[in-house]
Structure 1
Amino acid sequence: MEEKSDPDHGNLEGGGEVEGDQSTSSNLDLTSFQLHDLEGVELPLTLIELDLTANRLSTIDSRIGLLSQLKKLSLRQNLFDDAGVEMISRWNAISGLQELILRDNKLTKILDVSIFKSLLVFDVSFNEISSLNAISKVSSTLKELYVSKNEVNKMEEFDHLHELQILELGSNRLRVMENLQNLTNLQELWLGRNRIRTVNLCGLKCITKISLQSNRLTSMLGFQDCVALEELYLSHNGILKMEGLSTLLNLRVLDVSSNKITCVSDIENLTRLEDLWLNDNQIASVEGLDSAVSGSKEKLTTIYLEHNPCANLPNYCSTLRQIFPNIQQIDSNVYS
């Protein structure tokens, strides 16, 4: 969900008209118009998508509650507080909504969205939310939940989200991984920039991407059963040893940069590894690297080892190029 920007958008502040090329009868994109309200803006009853990203709205126009065909509503990057969006919870006419984006506003709690029985995407990232209370009211149809950059301190109220595929809780105040056991279809778990010390995936096995960057981990143990895992991001922790990786045969990307690792180990069986990030550790030598990464010697295309003692050795890059015949990038050096 990258922020949209369009330099050709005009300024509708004061109730100007929407140009025809910015809207259709089913899609109205008012991104970056700096609107304080929607006075003078036509809202066709046939709208399916309404994007109000990057405006100055603090109260929601009641006409939106009449758009019975609406499937996607983005209120991202505005000035909404809890009271400013509360009435959405009572708008039964738009109960068929599938995506609701409230990212980057001034919310302190999660909106009651229980009327939206077909909700697939719910984003309340970049707010001031301290609790996941009311997540239990979100429809069990939900596939993507984004609550990053808030003040949440406990993982809870997920039990019914059996269809959830993406869970983003990065940049919060979490200390414990918990209550994930019912998320049996979860594919991506993003928990970077928290205060987690121990990995606990509650028995989940279908995950393909996990990020625990910038936490307080000292061990890599806990991923052994995640046999579908393709990408693992563990940079900026206090990990001392590479372990618990030998069963992750589908792993393509491994990032353990900025830790306290002294040698490369437990990845010799990995045959699909393409990207290996080991920079900013304490690896003294590339001796033995040949056998340590033997399973993916032919597959590996990117390796980072800069800011390790071994990166200061003579012939450092040429040695790595001999070990990995298909390497395309060593640190910032790109090879054709």
Structure 2
Amino acid sequence: MMTELLKLPLFRFGGKEYTLDQFFAWAEYTEALIPVIEHLQKTEEAVQSGFEIDQERIQQAVNEFRYHNNLITSAETHRWLRQRNLEIDDLYTHIYRKLSDPRKHLRLTPAAWKKRCLDPVREVWAELHFTAKFQRIFDDFVLRISIASRPEYYRNMYELKDVMLTDLENMIFLNQDNFHFSAFLEHVYREYVEENVPRSLCEAKLRTYRIDLLKILYESISFKDLNAAKEAYCCVRYDGESLQSLAKRTGGVYESEYAFIEDIPELLRAPLLSAKAGECLDPLRITPQRGYTVLYVTRKTEPHVNNIQVRERLERKVIEELLADWNDQNFELLPWNR
């Protein structure tokens, strides 16, 4: 199964097909997979131990997943999974990892995790989709293929003589050929950026995307009951209790996130934007499944071109505009997700 999934053709650009194997190799080379693989490494022992989770917590997690993906019926949920070559068992494995006991977490090397895991390719593929990380990484990969395919940039990837081969022992998807392929894509991408995206252009775009690139560190705690949510709000607002402490004491569902506004669920953007750092918001009924949520804004970080994450996102937005016509003419998404 692992080998079959790696051969999955994801898209065609300029008549040439690109597979999951190449996508994963590039994503590992650029360290885009590090957060996902680290999570899988830590939770592997907890999943294999077969620990029991309260059915109500599992159902709540399933409802959360369906809400975030706008899946109203069971049939829509199964169709969403099939379109991504996933099964319902993959969803439950993801939930087990999400709800796993931190006391059972490990610190495995990628190589050790790969040996323990029955199907590492499937685990990474599933986790990317369930955590909504796939699309952004996929779009970045397509953008690099787009640049490398242009006549003025196309060249044999093995012309990169000065790229030192990294230690591949602890890599999951990188072999020597895929390393050179990935290094080639990054080399051409940086070359294109240097030639076509000056700092002044990024600064101009920052005025357009300032709100999208505002970064917010926030915490949330959710309850099914409104009174419990109101009590939690009062404990935070007036007694100074932390949301983490509340979650341990009350059993509320706690989450913490540090994200750009453009990456935050749409229903949360307006209340988070209107709040000040250090402010606790009145309970919100975001969805019937989630119940009532109390939000606490820890920090807001204004975007600046000197910040590498902000600069990379601005470069990406500029390049997408520059290559829009080229991509429309050459990109073809293959049927795996239709």
TM range (shorter): under 0.3
Larger radius of gyration: 1
Higher helix share: 2
Query: Comparing both chains, which one has the higher relative contact order based on Cα–Cα distances under 8 Å and sequence gaps of 6 or more?
Result: 2
